[in-house]
Amino acid sequence: MYSFLSNPPRFLFFTGKGGVGKTSIACATAVHLADQGKRVLLVSTDPASNVGQVFDCAIGNAITPVPDVPGLCAMEIDPEAAAEAYRERIVGPVRGLLPEREIASITEQLSGSCTTEVASFDEFTALLTDEELIGDYDHVVFDTAPTGHTIRLLQLPGNWSDFLDAGKGDASCLGPLAGLDKQRSAYAGAVSALQDSSSTRLVLVARAQAGALDEIARTKSELDQIGIGSGCVVINAVLPDAAGDEPLAAAVRHREQGMLDNLPVSLASLPMDLISLKPINVMGLSALRALLDDDPQTSGQAVAAADEVADLPLASLINAIEAGGHGLVMCMGKGGVGKTTIASAIAIALAERGHPVHLTTTDPAAHLEQTLEGSVPHLRVTRIDPVQATREYRDHVMESKGAQLDDAGRANLAEDLRSPCTEEVAVFRQFSAVIREGRTGFVIVDTAPTGHTLLLLDAAGSYHRDMVRQMGKADGFRTPMMMLQDPELTKVILVTLPEQTPVLEASILKADLDRAGIHPWAWVVNASIQAAHPESAFLRLRAASETQPIRQVGALAPRMAVVPLQAHEPVGLPALRTLF
């Protein structure tokens, strides 16, 4: 029996970064409990949710019985629809009364991930507190949980509407809470339920990968601060012995074991379960029931599809980048997809062809020096320290805008400045100087501000005004935003993995950038088993499961590359050179 299934409480929350298998494990847990005769409600608040696909039935924003599983019902809270309803509730009354630019600013302030999460939390508050709604269920299983930041927002003192109406804050995160004071008591009840270990269990889901483990360690730290400490760890998709002993499988197994032997300290004391990687995608009831056993089966049926996608080398993108003679290349994507590796490989290739290259990162988890393990002529490596940049920005805002606020107002502003957007805004102020170097040489950036952050700055006009004030109105003046929107200067490369959730998350990022007038130039599908041409039947089945996600990328990308999963960690110059 897995630890996370032992004596399960009424509420189970599954959380972790995208692509680790939260939805599959949540669905399998719900089926397992229902098979034991329990009445179960499965709820998804994940923007990338595919609960309906997993069960092969239509599930929407209403409680729906799951066919062929007596006692199990499910619902998918549509976070985008919830966020849109919030935006309209706030923007609707002032539309036509305020200038269009002000409307655009308010709308963009309400377009971030925090707005979506708070709106979703508002939707499922009743699922934690309303006995009339959930009284018929023994267990409620949630696919994804609110972050500590969102819960702290809901606990803050003060009146959100008065704070915003008085112009006391930028409201990048507080915006969605405007006018919601009437629901504060319901929120308090929901937070209390989350903090009660006898009724709630938090399951932190990861893979045996550094990025995924760091993400759940950060989540645990955030939730510990607000008294939510009932946690279990599930490491999903661990390569089983059935994958064979070919060099690729042996190397992956060795790499995963190294991760498990060196877990973040905050996770080491928690109960931990390992779930084996399955050879095919977890879709349908039989696959869900098999997910929680360790008897992976292989079938030759899907093997023939494993090599359908043609080889698309990274070198083809590097050649196209070089043809421009100079420019800014931004590698973007969710954490753990290999942005640092791809950015480093592109920079090395261009430098070794004799071009001056500046490789820099804004990723707090990136370690370019360790990745390179050496120097290359013509290559300069730097790092923008997001911690320092954010600290300086927060101090500046608290000293300026916070100077005239009362204690409650300062608490509101301080929490707003803990938003994920704050770090991006702070880093962008330093990053803007790097952008201009792309006019004369190659600048390769590992991660960059999202389209939402850029629009937040641009809609308010603050950054543009600062630049004009500093540089005057000289002919040919261009703001960093204008340079990022110039396809002749800037090439955005979206990095993803050949799996459904990472591809969906990358497509959401693409839409975010498109709104900002920045259109991705290319996509890179990283760590593809299919492109590595494995030999064992198990790995060939896994390779076949990548075909559809890679095709989805092909439908979105003007150009793309597929990088094989490496037998050895792509660290050091020789290993990075093998990527191109």
Our CA dihedral for 282, 284, 289, 294, rounded to 10 degrees, sits at -30
The one catalytic residue in 341, 501, 507, 545 is 501
In this structure, the answer to whether residues 24 and 52 fall within a common structural domain is yes
| In the predicted structure, residue 305 carries a pLDDT above the cut 50 | no
Strand order in the sheet with 379-383: 379-383, 357-361, 442-446, 327-332, 490-496, 522-528, 560-564
Could you tell me which of 142, 149, 148 has the C-alpha nearest to residue 123? 142
Options 16, 21, 211, 333, the catalytic residue = 21
Q: Is residue 523 part of a domain?
A: yes
CA distances from 388 to 340, 366, 471 (A): 20, 15, 25
pLDDT of residue 47: 62
Identify the sign of the CA torsion 546, 549, 554, 559.
negative
Q: How many Cβ atoms from other residues are within 10 Å of residue 286's Cβ?
A: 9
Catalytic residue selected from 16, 17, 18, 24:
24
State which of 297, 328, 356 marks the end of a domain: 297
Q: 512 catalytic, yes or no? A: no
78's CB contacts (< 8 A; 6+ apart) are: 60, 61
- CATH at 201: 3.40.50.300
The share of the chain scoring above pLDDT 70, in percent, equals 80
- Tell me: pLDDT of 287 over 50: yes
pLDDT band, very low/low/confident/very high, at 179 (cuts 50, 70, 90): very low
Going by the DSSP 8-state scheme, the letter that residue 257 receives in this structure is H
Could you tell me if 88 and 19 lie in one domain? yes
Task: Using DSSP bridges, classify how beta strands 231-238 and 272-276 pair: parallel, antiparallel or unpaired.
Answer: parallel
Give the angle subtended at the CA of 451 by the CAs of 446 and 457, to the nearest 5°.
Answer: 105
Is residue 235 domain-shared with residue 323, that is, in the same domain?
no
Residue 378 lies in a domain: yes
Structure tokens at 224: 């510990």
Told to judge if 23 belongs to the known catalytic residues of this protein, a careful annotator would answer yes
Separation of alpha carbons 327 and 304, rounded Å: 41
Q: Is residue 156 part of a domain?
A: yes
Confidence at residue 420, expressed as pLDDT on a 0 to 100 scale: 64
Note if 514 is an active site residue.
no
Final residue before a domain boundary, out of 238, 271, 297 = 297
The answer to whether residue 305 sits within a structural domain is no
- Active-site hit among 19, 148, 327, 336: 19
Residue 404 lies in a domain: no
**Do residues 365 and 270 both lie within one domain?**
no
Q: Is the pLDDT of residue 303 over 50?
A: no
One domain for residues 230 and 364: no
Catalytic, out of 15, 23, 125, 545: 23
CA nearest 366: which of 347, 352, 353? Answer: 347
Residue span of the structural domain in which 66 resides: 3-297
Inter-residue contact 410 to 324 (CB < 8 Å): no
Q: How high is the pLDDT of residue 452? A: 59
Let me know whether 260 and 353 are in one domain. Answer: no
Distances (CA, A) of 323 to 202, 312, 319, 488, 560: 51, 18, 6, 11, 17
Domain membership of residue 100 (yes or no) is yes
Same-domain pairing of 286 and 377 = no
Q: How many domains does the chain have?
A: 2
Whether residue 24 lies in the annotated active site: yes
Kindly indicate the confidence band of residue 425, based on its pLDDT and cuts at 50, 70 and 90.
confident
Place 412 in a pLDDT band, splitting at 50, 70 and 90: confident
Q: Are 466 and 377 in the same domain? A: yes
Count CB neighbours of 176 within 10 A: 29
Q: Which of 17, 18, 22, 479 is the catalytic position? A: 22
Which of 7-21, 286-300, 562-576 has the least mean pLDDT?
286-300
Question: Is the domain of 468 the same as that of 340?
Answer: yes
End residue of a domain, out of 266, 297, 328? 297
Q: Please report, in angstroms and rounded to a whole number, the separation of the first and last CA atoms in the chain.
A: 45
pLDDT band at residue 235 using 50, 70 and 90 as cut-offs: very high
For 308-356, write each residue's pLDDT tens digit: 556 799 999 999 999 999 999 999 988 778 898 999 999 999 999 999 9
Please tell me whether residues 244 and 329 are part of one structural domain.
no
**Residues in CB range of 283: below 8 A, 6 or more apart:** 53, 54, 56
Whole-angstrom Cα distance, residue 327 to residue 325?
A: 7
* Judgement on whether residues 124 and 155 belong to the same structural domain of the protein: yes
Q: What pLDDT score does 147 carry?
A: 62
Is residue 423 in some structural domain? no
Task: For the beta carbon of residue 269, count every other beta carbon within 10 angstroms.
Answer: 10
Q: How far apart are the C-alpha atoms of 26 and 438, rounded to whole Å?
A: 46
Amino acid at 560: M
482 vs 188, residue with greater confidence: 482
Task: Answer yes or no: are the C-beta atoms of 494 and 333 closer than 8 Å.
Answer: yes
Output the average pLDDT for the chain.
Answer: 81
181 is catalytic: no
* Least confident range of 60-64, 266-270, 471-475, 520-524: 471-475
For position 328, what pLDDT does the model report?
Answer: 95
Answer for the pair 329, 576: CB distance below 8 angstroms, yes or no.
no
The answer as to whether 245 is a domain residue is: yes
pTM more than 0.75: yes
- The residue annotated as part of the active site, out of 46, 214, 416, 458, is 46
What 3-state class would DSSP assign to 119? helix
Q: Dihedral through CA 249, CA 210, CA 347, CA 309, nearest 10?
A: 40
* Residue of higher predicted confidence among 387 and 456: 387
22 is catalytic: yes
Q: Are residues 60 and 174 in the same domain?
A: yes
| 399: number of Cβ within 10 Å | 9
Contact by Cβ (8 Å): 237, 275: yes
